[in-house]
Chain A
Amino acid sequence: MAENDAMPTLPKKCGPYISSVTSRGMNLVIRGIVLFFIGVFLALVLNLLQIQRNVTLFPPDVITSIFSSAWWVPPCCGTASAVIGLLYPCMDRHLGEPHKFKREWSSVMRCVAVFVGINHASAKVNFANNIQLSLTLAALSIGLWWTFDRSRSGFGLGIGIAFLATLVSQLLVYNGVYQYTSPDFLYVRSWLPCIFFAGGITMGNIGRQLAMYECKVIAEKSHED
């Protein structure tokens, strides 16, 4: 910034390309695409984790098992994650309190890793009963939120997302669109909201981090103007 002092004659106006890229709509689309693919990838991998648990249908072949569940599940997850990831920074902006807590990629990576870990725990660890499983996962999810988010808006949105997503998935199951082969159905229902909550927090974290680029560029632009 002090460079502006030193060299005020350097023109700072942006060309059309940058402004097109940094225009809000374009940026939104790019972020949405990135979030979509992250969501699809996570959906595939986490579905695989659940396959080991035989929660979803077990296919005869391993390779095909990646794409075993219904084809529309990963795109749906991707879309949902894109929406969530765009919703979080948008909400931050509307509330007027930008999220400043641990805004760096390494923190985001930790968040993703912990999210995968929560999924892993839900898939691998044998709990005595479902209450225990639910409580553990809930504690882990809250811990995730506390470690990486700590914003009330994030918490609220996460709760909302968890509720909505659980509702939708249960509706789908009851209508027979999707099915589990879980040994008992309560098992699935007990971890689903926690997973959705943690996923919402994680995608929100990624979305906020991505939005930081936009903020940075826009800030620079406005400063130059």
Chain B
Amino acid sequence: MMTYIVFILSVIFVISFVGFSSKPSPIYGGLVLIVSGGVGCGIIMNFGGSFLGLMVFLIYLGGMLVVFGYTTAMATEQYPEVWVSNTTVMGVFLLGLLMEVMLVLYVLKSEEVGVVFKFSGVGDWAIYDTGDSEVFSEEIMGVAALYSYGAWVVIVTGWSLLVGVLVILEVTRGD
């Protein structure tokens, strides 16, 4: 099972995305977002990116999702929708699950899968030697490079975040 751990985690990833795309109340959407965040962290860590995985947990789940949970709790309604309360929501969820199951069976059974791009069945998902150099890990060097060669990216993303806050305050301010 450990060879196919990335495949399993990816399937759980997609299932939790289906879970919140079928639009239950945002509280439950946040719940499956936590699951998908954790699973996504697992996928990244299996490729050797331990730092980035922990970053997902810390910043995404521990920062952004917490704030999201608080704001949703402030704006919640008396009877929030669950996946089984509304026929539409349940129908979409089951449809998404069905499509995922069919895709998984397709991947498991056939030699080569060519949906949008070709990859060779489950073999492509297994963890092989990812080819990072022996001395240092590629991923940490990437983060370090972000702050040296990639200073422009830091400036642009920092500015985008600042303007994002300004825009949101402006939009929700009203008159």
Q: Do A and B bind each other?
A: no
**B residues neighboring A (CB under 8 Å):** none
